[in-house]
Structure 1
Amino acid sequence: MKKLYPLYILLLITQIAFSQAVVINEIDCDTPGTDTGEFIELKSATPNFPLDGYVVVLFNGSTSGNDSSYFALDLDGQVTDVNGLLLIGSSTVSPVPQLLIGSNVIQNGADAVAIYQANSFDFPQGTQATTTDLVDAIVYDTGEADDTGLLGLLGLTTQISEGGNNNTNSIQRNETDGSYFTGTPTPRQLNDGSGVVLNGIGINVANDQYNEGDTFTIEFTTEFAVMSDLDITFTLDNGTFDAADFTGSTTVTIPTGQTMATTMITLVDDTLDEGDEELIIDLVENFSVEYIILNDQVLIRAVDDDFTMAPFGTPLNPTFGVVASTAPNGYYDTMDGLADDNLKDAMQAIIADPMTVRAHTYADVYEILREADQNPANSNQVWLVYTEQGRAKLDVQTGSNNTGTWNREHTFPRSLAGYNSIEADDVADGRAVFWETKPDSLRHGNSDGHALRASDGPENSSRGNQHYGQYTGPTGTAGSFRGDVARSIFFLAVRYNGLSVENGFPSVEGQIGDLATLLDWHRNDPPDDFEMNRNNVVYTWQVNRNPFIDHPELAEHLWGNQTGVVWMQPLSNEEFSTETIKLYPNPTKNNITIAGIQEEASIEIYALDGRKLHAQNFSGITKINLNLTTGVYLSKIISNGKTITKKIIIQ
């Protein structure tokens, strides 16, 4: 006799059958090192199962996360493989996942992964975990306490631990009873070792960087001998790197019974300064179902040997007077004859003029730094502020791993200043798009080109939010950055209301120190051609300049040994006078900087008994190294037949 079931029982059976069609088969939430090898593996009850109508949701079990969603991924269009598996992870996972997500997306725990019969838009960020339409779920950790709230929300009673931080385990589902255990990760393989064993295709290259003109071998391998000829096609194009930049075949065949084939690629050595480029070895995926890809999108640097060198030196080998200021005539006229706060206010009115000055986004800063901090010795590099070295412009930090990269260093740390990223700050919209800004626009200090420098990633982290004086740079460096950062701080203290430079190491938001240290750095490391060029570049973006680079003596008038003394900007030779030409620091120990004359000139140093001890020609702001004993000396500055004499005190 045929048994009849009420309609609601039939619907329940149908729903259960659907919910059991796909489960969470394996999760690796924490991997050693940079923690980028995380993945989630799903398993369907039958192979080649379409996953339309499903969504994977990740829940944050921390106190701030409130057991709510932080990531949702639609599975529409995805199909499990011949073993019923679908791997989700970043391109750093091997084998390469069928469904790619960013690295470091999957959190360590206590957190959860769940599968729902729903869409990603049903789980906007902050949606609390629920059992409604739930298909399968797991709450996991890496040594954290049980999240009973999250367990309850998902109808679970057991939280699974993957192990401690940086563990080498994954959490895997037992094929027989649905329980979980930890073991060596098995992505794209059934956890019990059964099923179809897939043949992995790998890409191998000896190095990750080659120069133009080099020839290198790309090796393609399989884990097992192929049963029939395996044709492999790949591309190398990426951005500006295209077919004109290389020669060689992009198709190879692994013969029947073999496991390897190679091809030779030669980078074209042209005469164009295109900058360093990156090619990507990207497989054209037309393989039959018995193959999986172990690695793909292999990045190779093509180093351009046609870089240019600037006519001026790096901060380690500074030159002076080669690069002229591009300040317009009359730019500083309104500051003439003023002192102290009146001088500061007039300066701010110029460099924070809301009718002229422009503010750009924090994302735009990368392009500003590529121009402003370009290494004078190699146009394909930026110059790193604290570690005093060049680094490829391509090596900008893009993820959590900052080793070997450069990023944006705030000379006035954000946590001390009180500014942070603002709306649209992550959009690089170029020189022609900008915000209006004024002295009270402190938020724009976050992306001010005069305030940021290209910096080594780890060294930026080491500096943290220390004041200068607490932080003096890496051990063993020459300190060529010290005057630069001092003048950056001086600029900010005038440009923005709410920021100031103070003695000591203040703990008040908006204040930075140490003023005495920064004045000393400013005096002993005067602005060189690199810094003047930087000032000129930032001016093309922001239409404001750093006055302390154009006129270094201004720091003395606001904070140093010329406070209370009116400032007059250096004038032409027609007004050649002791008031317009500055020698500083004075007293000094072993060097003196001349400012205030732009024409060709000479300086002679005499002992008080009339002996000439030093002579040299100069123009513009010039630093002169002295090797004199303690005492008083006379300097004679000569230009166009005019002469002035100034006293120098050597301590």
Structure 2
Amino acid sequence: MKKNFTLLAFLLCSVIGLAQIPAGYYNTATGTGYTLKTQLKRIIDNNNDGLPSERISTDPGYAGLYVTYTTSDIDLYYENNGTMLDMYTENPTGPDNCEFTYGTNQDDGTLGTAECQRYNREHIIPQSVFSSATPMYSDAHFVVPSDKYVNAQRGNFPFGRVNVATNTYSNGSKKGNNLNSGYSAGYSTTVFEPINEFKGDIARMFFYFATRYEDQVASWPYDMFNGTSNQVFDNTFLNILITWHLNDPVSQREIDRNNAIYARQNNRNPFIDNSGYVCQIYPTQCATLSTNSFEFENTISIYPNPAVNNEVTISSETELKSIVLYNINGQIIQEIKNPTRVDNSYKVNNLSSGFYLVQMASENAIATKKLIVN
């Protein structure tokens, strides 16, 4: 199968470096498809599966999550000031509206009626799905620190693509009915959408969950699940998660978080260590999504390139739903939603000098191209 990944994913992955994976940790992950998923489950679970280099996952407990967070979720990447890193309020391109200090703003049962008052523990897969049972309840690979108010606002809603937002939060996360078209077609009720910076992070948490708890997940009802232990996800949400995974590649922050949690739980998220596992497990879905994006990319041009007078024109035969400019570090520099289209063209101006990756999304595909502004 030919895999077509975005240029952004390639460039960022090339400078991330390797995670601190123990020698031989994935030696038994030799299969493909759902066989590979089961092999990964045996590596990261809490059973003695008789592997040559067996490591048994441990459970530091629900209270222990707050201890884990002091090494796994510190902001050393954006403000770089040692505060709590919360995916629901973190602003990657400017000052945060909320700044939480561990031990100071922790949830004590009060407040949480607005953003920035308290932080608590957010189950990316809602705890009601698995009846708050352990070890899921306290698994830091998918239980993250978050603003208490936004956590409650997200509630048990699935993750998806918001069509028209009914609620928008300080960093741009939002809630509203799912966009029932393109790669998110098939679901039309309320979803929660994180910002682009963290969509891949959340997708890889879901793939971890589907793998780590493969032997139980078929019995857990949730809109994002399909009641099986192999595919696990409903087709709509599988397409959403794969797209987010491919378009928001593994970051240094995720690598560091994975290492910190391994030190506490003795297991790892395989999809951070090797992002290619996703398409090895779900090759058909990856091929379909990649083909759409490849064909879409061939219909787009950006000119002049290098830009003249800090402005470029994007020509696209297909209507664009968004245009996002990233710098070489993967930070969003400019984001235009529902851009104005004139004669199949879009203008992007006020560009500062530099090298950019321009990500353009239609209803059902995403393309990324290079841009130089002198």
Name 2:35's counterpart in structure 1: 342
User: 1 CA distance for matches of 2:111 and 2:17?
Assistant: 37
Deviation string 1:446-472 (CA, Å, 9 cap, x unpaired) is: 100101111111000000001111779
Question: Residue type of the partner of 1:542?
Answer: Q
Deviation string 1:514-554 (CA, Å, 9 cap, x unpaired) is: 22211111111111001110001001011111011111121
Could you say if the C-alpha distance between residues 323 and 628 of structure 1 is closer, same or farther in structure 2, counting changes exceeding 3 Å? closer
- Of structures 1 and 2, the larger Rg is shown by 1
User: 2 CA distance for matches of 1:446 and 1:588?
Assistant: 42
Name 1:359's counterpart in structure 2: 59
Matches within 5 A, 1:500-649: 505=224, 514-561=237-284, 587=294, 626-627=357-358
Question: Residue type of the partner of 1:462?
Answer: Q
Name 2:125's counterpart in structure 1: 412
State whether residues 119 and 148 of structure 2, in contact with CA within 8 Å, keep that contact through their aligned partners in structure 1.
yes
**Among candidates 484, 509, 524, match of residue 201 of structure 2:** 484
Name 1:331's counterpart in structure 2: 25
> What is the aligned length?
246
**Among candidates 129, 147, 153, match of residue 456 of structure 1:** 147
Could you say if the C-alpha distance between residues 533 and 502 of structure 1 is closer, same or farther in structure 2, counting changes exceeding 3 Å? farther
User: 1 CA distance for matches of 2:263 and 2:19?
Assistant: 12
Name 1:397's counterpart in structure 2: 107
State whether residues 490 and 548 of structure 1, in contact with CA within 8 Å, keep that contact through their aligned partners in structure 2.
yes
Range that drifts further, 367-376 or 380-389: 380-389
Name 1:446's counterpart in structure 2: 137
Deviation string 1:312-347 (CA, Å, 9 cap, x unpaired) is: xxxxxx9973563011122112112x1112111111
User: 1 CA distance for matches of 2:261 and 2:196?
Assistant: 23
User: 2 CA distance for matches of 1:628 and 1:537?
Assistant: 31
Name 2:70's counterpart in structure 1: 370
The Cα shift of 1:628 comes to 9.0
Question: Residue type of the partner of 1:400?
Answer: T
Greater relative contact order (CA < 8 Å, ≥ 6 in sequence) = 2
State whether residues 119 and 145 of structure 2, in contact with CA within 8 Å, keep that contact through their aligned partners in structure 1.
yes
Deviation string 1:573-625 (CA, Å, 9 cap, x unpaired) is: xxxxxxxxxx99963878xxxxxxxxxxxxxxxxxxxxxxxxxx99xxxxx96
The Cα shift of 1:407 comes to 0.7
Name 1:183's counterpart in structure 2: none
**Among candidates 150, 156, 159, match of residue 468 of structure 1:** 159
User: 2 CA distance for matches of 1:420 and 1:555?
Assistant: 27
User: 1 CA distance for matches of 2:198 and 2:359?
Assistant: 25
Percent identity, aligned pairs only, is 27
| TM-score computed with the length of structure 2 as normaliser | 0.56
State whether residues 13 and 249 of structure 2, in contact with CA within 8 Å, keep that contact through their aligned partners in structure 1.
no
- Cα root mean square deviation, aligned: 4.0
Question: Residue type of the partner of 1:349?
Answer: R
Could you say if the C-alpha distance between residues 626 and 550 of structure 1 is closer, same or farther in structure 2, counting changes exceeding 3 Å? same
When you count helix as a share of all residues, which structure comes out higher?
Answer: 2
DSSP 3-state at the match of 1:450: coil
Question: Residue type of the partner of 1:454?
Answer: P
State whether residues 242 and 286 of structure 2, in contact with CA within 8 Å, keep that contact through their aligned partners in structure 1.
no
User: 1 CA distance for matches of 2:39 and 2:157?
Assistant: 30
State whether residues 358 and 368 of structure 2, in contact with CA within 8 Å, keep that contact through their aligned partners in structure 1.
no
